[in-house]
Chains A and B, each alone.
Chain A
Amino acid sequence: MNTSAKNCPVVEMKNIVKRFGTITALKNVDFKIDQAQVMALVGDNGAGKSTLIKILTGIYPPNSGEIYFEGKLVQINSPREARDLGIETCYQDLALVNLMSISRNFFLGRELVHQFGPINWLKIGEMSALTRSALADVGIQIHSPNDRVGSLSGGERQSIAIGRAVHFGAKLLILDEPTSALSVAETRKVLKYIENAKVRGLPVIFITHNVHHVYLMADAYTIIRHGEKVGTYCRGELSENDIADLITGQREK
């Protein structure tokens, strides 16, 4: 990796505009995340956080605006292209396929195969062994890689999705409301895994409307309201109440 990629922000989005019919979902939004940073993207339901992220992950094209990935101007036209850049996304509880086993989920889209002409024969044993050791590496113990994901708790599922991103060398991890459906104890565990990811140098965008979950862990907060950016603030600049007020618009910046 060259030095310029190290020093510049992982992702910089400039002047992003997104319209759905007559509704403007995002009005000239700027967004930036640095290396090894946990950036909280906060806002009320419908504020535009998810739209912004769906533009970054290639699900929606923006009407205008530019995206820079590691300093280079990029066009992201599909989720596949986003992932090829190293952007890994976990949508709420939808990151894994509940009816499939842990190892099949772990290697989904990156299956290890023997190739015989057009046939891609799965290396099932190898994938199972690697799943177990890779998850153990990031501090996640599983009973068996053949267990169905649906039999795990919500927190375990999130941690496996995070472990997968870390293992495959993602350059940016996006978590969309990872803790909103979890119990307090489970939330604490998932936050610990995110902390681990950060220690390994992986930048994380943490999307949430619950300030309480990210307050202690995020390095910075970007607040969005009614499709406009309210501002980006460093850790310690604002109290939890300040952030909540900015989200709801009880207070202007």
Chain B
Amino acid sequence: MVNARLTWQREIRHLFAESSVAGPLFTLIFVFILSSLFVPHFFSWRTVSGIVNAATLTGIVTIGVTLLMISGEFDLSVGSLIAVGGYLFGQQCAHNSPLLGLALAFLIPGFLGALNGLIRVRTGIPSFIATLGTGFIFRGAAWILSGGSMLQLTDKLPIYDIFNGRFNLLDDLLPGANFLTSLLWLLGTVLVFQYVLVRTRYGNHVFAVGGQVEAATAQGVNVERVKVINFAISGALAGFAGVFTFCQFQTMRVASGSGTELTAIASAVVGGALLAGGSGSIWGALIGVLLISMLRTAVVLLNIPFIPADNFEAIVGVTIVGAAIFNNWVRQRT
């Protein structure tokens, strides 16, 4: 009994030590307490569920982006792949075959992600440039897919509720809460990828490839394979985020998802991932997304005269830089 508990504690400590998640978690709690004390209407289930809902779409994308960043690469095309995935899913929903749509929304963005990876490893072009380019191309593909027009459906399909409907169990329990079922999918995906990262051979190789590519190569790790797979995961999760977007609003535009690529990178960094690769965690990424979403909400609720709701980006920017500096400081002390 005592032994079992000790093992659990060791396990948890081990997870935290290896994922350097302590800094971001501390920041999240600090901002939450501060906002609860000073921001009107902040400390309520309504606000908390709003923060979480706003974070889930970016959260799904950030998981893939973080995994990729740990292996030393960037993906700036995920924003466009959200639109590609969203249209693929939405168009099949219009034909009443949502399952086919779901498969397409995973496979095609996943394939396009793998293409990003192949361009990166075969040509040696930095992924920052390569995916900046393919991001525009994929946005063009979304335009071709849709003919440039907005897709909007009025019929409700049961699949919408499965992915992003009302989370009745939680919402009936907590007064004022308005959680969506996408929260469960987000947590499940986080859990799967966190464990892939820290407890599987593949995860070990991801860290090695991003940390010291020469050492990984010399030990027989297939560096190119790891990178291409990570790009494919990043693409597939962006397509998945497109599915969530469509399930929530039943609309999809060519411009949907644009800007998410940068928020995802920001969240990964706020969550403790190193831009240079080799370090980071999926827990951290989740915390990063929640932190940015929380700050947006807090700033909007504060209602400062010169920072109205549509000018909160500046505050978020300041905090991203601040969090990155803070994480660095924490890491150097441990």
Contacts and interface: CB of A to CB of B under 8 A. Distances in A.
Interface of A: 57, 59, 79-80, 83-84, 89-91, 94-101, 104-105, 108-111, 113, 119-122, 124, 146
A97 B17 contact: no
B218 interface: yes
B71 interface: no
11 contacts: A89-B218, A91-B215, A99-B207, A100-B207, A101-B18, A104-B204, A105-B215, A108-B205, A111-B201, A119-B200, A122-B204
Contact of A99 (B201, B214, B278): B278
Given A79-B217, A121-B199, A111 B204 contact: yes
Contacts of B212: 94, 96-99
A108 B216 contact: yes
A80 B216 contact: no
B80 interface: no
Q: Which 8 A-B pairs have the closest CB atoms?
A: A109-B219, A97-B211, A120-B201, A94-B214, A97-B212, A109-B220, A99-B278, A80-B220
B217 A108 contact: no
**Central interface residue in A104, A109, A119, by most chain B CB within 10 Å:** A109
A169 B208 CA distance: 22
Contact of A97 (B202, B203, B207, B222): B207
Contacts of B200: 113, 119-122
A90 B211 CA distance: 16
B215 A94 contact: yes
Most buried by A among B205, B214, B274: B214
A99 B211 contact: yes
B278 A108 contact: no
B47 to A, nearest CB: 37
Nearest to B195: A121
Nearest to B196: A119
Contact of B199 (A94, A95, A110, A122): A122
Nearest to B202: A120
A134 to B, nearest CB: 16
B204 A108 contact: yes
A8 to B, nearest CB: 26
Contact of A108 (B14, B208, B214, B279): B208
Interface string B84-125: 000000000000000000000000000000000000000000
B221 interface: yes
A94 B212 CA distance: 7
A146 B214 contact: no
Nearest to B215: A97
A57 B208 CA distance: 19
B218 A95 contact: yes
Given A79-B218, A94-B214, A146-B17, A113 B201 contact: yes
Given A80-B222, A100-B204, A146-B14, 8 more contacts: A84-B220, A91-B215, A99-B274, A99-B279, A100-B208, A108-B215, A122-B201, A124-B199
A209 to B, nearest CB: 19
Interface in B1-41: 14, 17-18
B216 A97 contact: yes
Given A108-B204, A111-B204, A100 B17 contact: no
Contacts of B208: 97, 100, 104, 108
Contacts of B279: 99
A96 B215 contact: yes
A120 B221 CA distance: 15
Contacts of B274: 99
A108 B219 contact: yes
B219 A83 contact: yes
Among B200, B208, B215, residue most surrounded by chain A Cβ atoms (within 10 Å): B215
Contacts of A146: 14, 17
Interface in B175-223: 199-205, 207-208, 211-212, 214-222
Contacts of B220: 79-80, 83-84, 109
Nearest to A90: B218
Contacts of B203: 122
Nearest to B222: A80
Contacts of B202: 120
A79 B220 CA distance: 6
Nearest to B200: A120
Contacts of A94: 212, 214-215, 218
Interface in B275-290: 278-279
A61 B102 CA distance: 45
Contacts of A57: 218
A91 B199 contact: no
Contacts of A113: 200-201
